[in-house]
Amino acid sequence: MTQQIFTLPDVGEGLTEAEIVSWKVQPGQTVAINDVICEIETAKSLVELPSPYAGTVVELLAREHETIEVGTPIIAIGDSAATHDGGAAPSAPASPPPPAESPVPTMQEPGVESGPLVGSGPKADAAKRRPRRQPAAAPAPSVPQMATPAAESTPSGAADEGGAVWRASRSGHAPLVGGAAEASQKPEPGNAVVGLLSRVLAKPPVRRIAKELGINLSDVPATGARGEVTRADLESYQAQREREQAAAPTFWDHTKRPSERRIEIVPVRGVRKATAKAMVDSAFSAPHVSIFVDVDASRTMEFVQRLKKSRDFEGVRVSPLLILAKAVIWAAARNPSVNSEWVAGPEGDEIRIKHYMNLGIAAATPRGLLVPNIKDAQDLSLRELAIALNELATTARAGKTKPADMQGGTMTITNIGALGIDIGTPIINPGEVAIVAFGTIRQKPWVVSGEVIPRWITTLGGSFDHRVVDGDLSARFMADVAAIMEEPALLLD
């Protein structure tokens, strides 16, 4: 059998290495071209790698969580055509097809969708009506809706003395149905999971509650009449989870173990590694100067409320960050040098002023700090900018930011006020000369026309590369940003 070796490609970021986060295939599994074979993490994003070949997975050449260089072999895929005309292949001989009216679905190969284990037949949108369920040759106990990985089950395809095929269930091992037809359907060796369902049955209210509680429905034992997860199942599972959490040791593990055994080691890799290097390079190469300004953002808050009620913004999430983003774009147009880059070259240093705004938004994600940017933000209307901000945040939190969205930023905003922090000193994103930090907006006493009244106050902080932006320019830029936050109507000028 011929083999194709797939090496780790450059995913378009110019990076030299990546980490294998998880494999989506296993040896012995059949893959088609463009099937996702693994997920990798680079210094900038999480990327799914599609297979360039069709065939059978022969060997995985890299381990999960291993960092490897571009060009390193990661997987060997055999030519599935070699199984024809007497060719050798690592998979088992093909099993005969099941009877047309068989109540048991065929064994599922990884990567191929299947319906529920019992009595469903084809999917609802199939052109052919599903066959009626035929009575089994022998009585069989009811089948739980979900199956667990085969690590907890008997060997795949094993049959009991009555000829019933056994699968792992949440409550133990239970036969699907009895009969010789089932025993004749033998799965290919090497399949780690047999017959996993592609979707858990549950009513929409149950799904909503599970989402609010952060519960994966596939982990909940189902007791519904049709094998669905009920609300009672969910409540029972949550109560059990709370009991386990209450019984778990606290972070400060008061034990007599040596101190070195109570130290958690977190490898620095991926986004965290790249962020650390970038921040060190920026902090010790660009001389930072920071200034701060308190702003009466009461009219910004009123403007945000009007936008939320506007039909033009129906279905669009609006926050004060939208007004700040527009203010930064407006102020940069009046002070172009803050939207530039310092470039050191062999023939002399130069400042490159950019007449476009790729606005970066610092986003805290489970993978670390990401700074995707909105391309040509200066050309977007207020509504378009709001949509772009929402999509950017949603994609970043899901870890699906594209590599191209992480490149080419010209200025950055970091919203530390979302966590109730008044202000901080931000570090400039490499390749830029300015960053604006946005503190929380809270009601404070404020003097207006000689009277002390409650107003919505925030603090803005800006850090600038002093090689490009001197004190006068940074002050004028921050004053312009503050002016928009105090009176958004200036955007109409």
The residue behind tokens 């300015």 is 434
pLDDT score, position 216: 84
The tokens for 7 are: 């090496």
pTM: 0.53
**Integer angstrom CA distances of residue 13 from 16, 117, 244:** 9, 43, 44
Catalytic residue selected from 84, 254, 355, 466: 466
Task: Quote the DSSP letter at residue 166.
Answer: E
Q: Tell me the per-residue pLDDT of 343-399, one tens digit each, with 9 for 90 and over.
A: 887 888 899 999 999 999 988 877 778 889 999 999 999 999 999 999 998 888 877
pLDDT score, position 183: 38
Which stretches within 214-297 are classed as H helix? 231-247, 270-285
Angle at 353 between CA 337 and CA 355, to 5 degrees: 100
**Domain boundaries 3-86, CATH class:** mainly beta
**Integer angstrom CA distances of residue 338 from 16, 104, 143, 394, 486:** 31, 67, 65, 28, 21
Q: For residues 40 and 19, is the Cβ–Cβ distance under 8 A?
A: yes
Q: For residues 92 and 188, is the Cβ–Cβ distance under 8 A?
A: yes
Average pLDDT over the chain, rounded to an integer:
75
Q: Residue ranges per domain, the chain?
A: 3-86, 104-199, 201-265, 271-492
pLDDT score, position 447: 93
pLDDT score, position 96: 45
Name 46's bridge partners.
41
For residue 123, give the 3-state DSSP assignment.
coil
- Environment class of 2 (CB within 10 Å of its CB; exposed 0-12, middle 13-18, buried 19+): exposed
Task: Quote the DSSP letter at residue 475.
Answer: H
| Side chain identity at residue 215, one-letter code | I
For residue 345, give the 3-state DSSP assignment.
coil
Residue 276: partners with Cβ closer than 8 Å, 6 or more residues away: 268
C-alpha dihedral sign at 27, 33, 36, 37: positive
Q: For residues 338 and 409, is the Cβ–Cβ distance under 8 A?
A: no
Which fold, 201-265? Dihydrolipoamide Transferase (4.10.320)
pLDDT score, position 188: 45
Dihedral angle, C-alpha 208, 213, 217, 219, nearest 10 ° = -170
Query: Ramachandran region of residue 227, left (φ > 0), alpha (ψ -120 to 50) or beta?
Result: left
C-alpha count within 13 angstroms, C-beta hemisphere, residue 153? 25
Catalytic site residue 355?
no
Phi, psi at 367, each rounded to 5° = -90, -5
C-alpha dihedral sign at 471, 425, 288, 411: negative
pLDDT score, position 360: 94
Low-confidence ranges of the chain (pLDDT < 70): 1, 11-15, 43-45, 80-199, 247-266, 270-272, 493
- Environment class of 45 (CB within 10 Å of its CB; exposed 0-12, middle 13-18, buried 19+): buried
**Integer angstrom CA distances of residue 134 from 137, 138, 186:** 9, 12, 21
pLDDT score, position 359: 96
- Environment class of 88 (CB within 10 Å of its CB; exposed 0-12, middle 13-18, buried 19+): exposed
Rg (CA), the chain: 30
**Domain boundaries 271-492, CATH class:** alpha beta
For residue 289, give the 3-state DSSP assignment.
strand
